């Protein structure tokens, strides 16, 4: 067996919860540590540790990504009422992904992982659709409140001199006796020109570097100031900085209304980058991932404008499978997205530190997953979809062992 591959800079390793935590340890043991002298700075983002540190650990992990440049994160629980009871939490902690995104800023790129034999639900889709999600602001940083009957809601902007401008949002009151007074809800959201511009540049750089068209859509016919600002900033940056580079790469920037865009996406062949506002990206990435086969066949990376990278799986902690695992039953959980997160992080570390062996290893790790599936060995989610002639549904660990065999065979 050849010597293990050396690393210079540690990866920021963020462990997580439930089934994905089980997979995390197995991936390291079976697929990485036999080949790489792994160096990581470890942060445990599992819910008990977030409770113990009052979520300080999440912030420290994000700071570490800023220090070292590359992180890899396991799926984590975002607590709701049930989780607060289950874990005896003193607070309903925010989503760790939300906290990390708010600290790093940037754009999340999500691309489906294609393997022969796994056919998308949309038969026209031949190539991957990469979703670029603006990971800043909008409803993820909202301020919301209930409005009691009879309340008046206003938007107030005070400029640097304290001069106020007011806009009526809604009067929760009967008008001309036609309606009875009613209570309701109000929310305030924001974004910044700086963040929108960084989003535009991240998408355009990615389009040029991967030679794929860039599509973007918002609801600017209805949201004539908020969404319109996104459209205008994209266009201005494209005209001033990217038009020549897009032409040279033989690619296009295409803007249309979001409704029209979703219709075109369905009819397309794929093979482009779809820039999405924060909420659109959240929702559409799950739809696109599922349509390509499985939530677990999606890679995800947060690229910050300052050049930091955070790799993760796009799915959650797969609680239903974890309950089975705890009861001693076999599980068939797909680990591909978690393996891709590690592979992406190691590849990027190899690239930044000029370690070609590490970079190659990251690529081989991805190939080992695809080869395993293409040889007919797969977890239950893919088994249901696969058109492979001789296919075999295996448990969580067997898939990893098979992928490790492919990796050994490459060496």
Least distance (Å) from ligand NAP to the CB of residue 181?
37
Least distance (Å) from Mg ion to the CB of residue 240?
33
Q: Which of 63, 138, 282, 405 binds Mg ion (CB under 5 A)?
A: 282
Least distance (Å) from ligand NAP to the CB of residue 303?
16
Using rule CB under 6 A, residue 326 touches ligand NAP: no
Q: Which of 77, 114, 214, 377 binds ligand NAP (CB under 6 A)?
A: 77
When CB distances to Mg ion are compared, the closest residue is 282
Handedness of CA 105, 136, 274, 14 (dihedral sign): positive
Which region, judged by CB under 6 A, interacts with ligand NAP, from 54-62, 76-84, 219-227, 230-238? Answer: 76-84
Nearer to Mg ion, 69 or 137 (CB): 137
Nearer to ligand NAP, 218 or 338 (CB): 338
Residues 292-321 touching ligand NAP, rule: CB under 6 A, are 295-296, 312, 315-320
Size of the site for ligand NAP (CB under 6 A): 17
Least distance (Å) from ligand NAP to the CB of residue 77?
4
The one of ligand NAP, Mg ion, none whose footprint includes residue 78, by CB under 5 to 8 A per kind, is: ligand NAP
Using rule CB under 6 A, residue 290 touches ligand NAP: no
Which region, judged by CB under 5 A, interacts with Mg ion, from 171-179, 269-277, 281-289, 324-332? Answer: 281-289
Least distance (Å) from ligand NAP to the CB of residue 410?
24
31: nearest Cα among 358, 317, 343: 343
Size of the site for Mg ion (CB under 5 A): 1
The CA angle 345-350-353, to the nearest 5 degrees, is 120
b/e burial code for range 31-51 (CB count within 10 A of at least 16 → b): bbeebbebebbebbbbbebbb
The one of Mg ion, ligand NAP, none whose footprint includes residue 320, by CB under 5 to 8 A per kind, is: ligand NAP
Nearer to Mg ion, 104 or 204 (CB): 104
Least distance (Å) from Mg ion to the CB of residue 54?
25
Least distance (Å) from Mg ion to the CB of residue 313?
12
The one of ligand NAP, Mg ion, none whose footprint includes residue 282, by CB under 5 to 8 A per kind, is: Mg ion
Nearer to ligand NAP, 60 or 83 (CB): 83
Site for Mg ion, rule CB under 5 A: 282
Binding site for ligand NAP (CB under 6 A): 75-78, 97, 295-296, 312, 315-320, 333-334, 381
């Amino acid at each position: 067996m050849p010597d293990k591959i050396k690393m210079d800079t540690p990866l920021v390793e963020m462990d997580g919860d439930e089934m994905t935590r089980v997979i995390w340890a197995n991936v390291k043991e079976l697929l990485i540590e036999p080949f790489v002298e792994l160096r990581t700075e470890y942060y445990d983002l599992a819910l008990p540790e977030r409770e113990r540190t009052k979520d300080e650990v999440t912030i420290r992990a994000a700071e570490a990504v800023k220090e070292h440049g590359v992180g890899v994160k396991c799926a984590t629980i975002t607590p709701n009422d049930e989780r607060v009871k289950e874990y005896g939490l003193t607070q309903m902690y925010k989503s760790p992904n939300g906290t990390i995104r708010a600290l790093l800023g940037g754009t999340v790129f999500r691309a489906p992982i294609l393997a022969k034999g796994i056919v998308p639900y949309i038969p026209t889709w031949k190539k991957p659709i990469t979703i670029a999600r603006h990971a800043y602001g909008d409803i993820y940083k909202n301020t919301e409140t209930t409005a009691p009957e009879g309340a008046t809601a206003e938007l107030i902007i005070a400029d640097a001199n304290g001069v106020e401008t007011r806009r009526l949002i809604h009067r929760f009151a009967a008008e001309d006796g036609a309606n009875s007074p009613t209570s309701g809800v109000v929310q305030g959201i924001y974004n910044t020109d700086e963040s929108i511009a960084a989003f535009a540049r991240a998408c355009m750089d990615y389009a040029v570097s991967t030679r794929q068209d860039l599509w973007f859509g918002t609801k600017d016919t209805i949201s004539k100031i908020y969404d319109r600002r996104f459209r205008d900033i994209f266009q201005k940056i494209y005209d001033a900085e990217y038009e020549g580079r897009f032409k040279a790469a033989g690619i296009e920037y295409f803007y249309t209304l979001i409704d029209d865009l979703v219709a075109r996406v369905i009819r397309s062949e794929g093979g482009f980058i779809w820039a999405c506002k924060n909420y659109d990206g959240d929702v559409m990435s799950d739809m696109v991932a599922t349509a390509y086969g499985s939530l677990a066949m999606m890679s995800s990376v947060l690229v910050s404008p300052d050049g930091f990278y955070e790799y993760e799986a796009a799915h959650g902690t797969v609680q239903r499978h974890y309950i089975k695992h705890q009861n001693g039953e076999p599980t068939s959980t797909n680990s591909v997205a978690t393996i891709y997160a590690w592979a992406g992080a190691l590849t990027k570390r190899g690239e930044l530190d000029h370690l070609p062996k590490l970079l190659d290893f990251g690529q081989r790790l991805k190939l080992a997953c695809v080869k395993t599936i293409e040889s007919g060995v797969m977890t239950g989610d893919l088994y249901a979809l696969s058109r492979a002639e001789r296919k075999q549904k295996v448990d969580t660990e067997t898939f990893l062992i098979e992928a490790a065999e492919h990796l050994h065979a490459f060496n």
